[in-house]
Amino acid sequence: AQSVTQLDSQVPVFEEAPVELRCNYSSSVSVYLFWYVQYPNQGLQLLLKYLSGSTLVKGINGFEAEFNKSQTSFHLRKPSVHISDTAEYFCAVSSQGGSEKLVFGKGTKLTVNP
Amino acid sequence: GAVVSQHPSRVICKSGTSVKIECRSLDFQATTMFWYRQFPKKSLMLMATSNEGSKATYEQGVEKDKFLINHASLTLSTLTVTSAHPEDSSFYICSAADAGRNQPQHFGDGTRLSIL
């Protein structure tokens, strides 16, 4: 079975500050990892994914994440956040490239304050 | 990029009525579609997985007769909430994937269902 733990339910930061949203996973098989962003009353938008290869993955909107197999982590980072980054962020794991069902974490609400 | 259209975006109806939600893939063949339910301030809960032309696979605890899923074509899946009650009020999100390409799922914008 697979599971995802997002350690922080809420992360408040000031504009232009760096941010890290933490994600740890558990899986008995090979994993594929994803970060999605959800704006209010909208669906999910893919930020980035790790399927294989380089452990540092760059995504849209200046976000990046690093896959750490030994720590079973896939933390999301951005060096300088904007007000518009305020949203809910979900980490997810799949046993395949994403066309199989995703197991989501509980989400982290990122609030960027001026 | 790939687009998944979900309709309606919001629906309000009386208790006891049935509500149909459509999920369409606009520029790719969705061999697999997923239906999720999201409670306020909660994560997404997978309700069922549907493959084109076959019966949906429901997750444990999801009532098959309550949430009818049809995936009759490679671009359309529907979720019908039958005899809806206030406890069925929620945000429902679909996603679609082309299993042959093994690419990430693309999500619709969700449907806010409110049962009075």
Mean pLDDT value across residues A37-44: 87
The secondary structure of A53-101, three-state, reads CCCEEECHHHCEEEEECCCCEEEEEECCCCHHHCEEEEEEEECCCCCCC
* Whether residue A97 has pLDDT greater than 70: no
Q: Looking at the complex, does the CB of residue B107 fall below 8 Å from at least one CB of chain A?
A: yes
Which of the residues A49, A99, A108 would you substitute to probe the B interface, choosing the one with the greatest number of B C-beta atoms within 10 Å?
A99
- Asked if A97 lies within 8 A of B107 by C-beta distance, the reply is no
Question: In this structure, are residues B48 and B55 in contact, taking their beta carbons and an 8 Å threshold?
Answer: no
| pLDDT of amino acid B105 | 86
Mean pLDDT value across residues A87-97: 88
% of chain A exceeding 90 in pLDDT:
74
| pLDDT of amino acid A23 | 97
| pLDDT of amino acid B2 | 61
Which of the residues A44, A46, A93, A100 would you substitute to probe the B interface, choosing the one with the greatest number of B C-beta atoms within 10 Å?
A44
% of chain A exceeding 70 in pLDDT:
97
Q: Looking at the complex, does the CB of residue B51 fall below 8 Å from at least one CB of chain A?
A: no
pLDDT band at A31 (very low <50, low <70, confident <90, very high): confident
Candidates B93, B98, B102; nearest CB to A43: B93
Distance CA B104, CA B106 (A): 7
Distance CA B27, CA A78 (A): 31
Distance CA A58, CA A56 (A): 7
Candidates B32, B102, B109; nearest CB to A43: B109
* Whether residue A29 has pLDDT greater than 80: no
Query: pLDDT truncated to tens, each residue of chain B (116 aa)?
Result: 568 999 999 999 999 999 999 999 998 888 899 999 998 777 889 999 998 888 899 999 999 999 999 988 889 999 999 999 999 999 999 999 887 776 788 999 999 999 99
The distance of B105 to chain A (nearest Cα, Å) reads 6
Mean pLDDT value across residues A89-98: 84
Q: Looking at the complex, does the CB of residue A45 fall below 8 Å from at least one CB of chain B?
A: yes
- Asked if A102 lies within 8 A of B46 by C-beta distance, the reply is yes
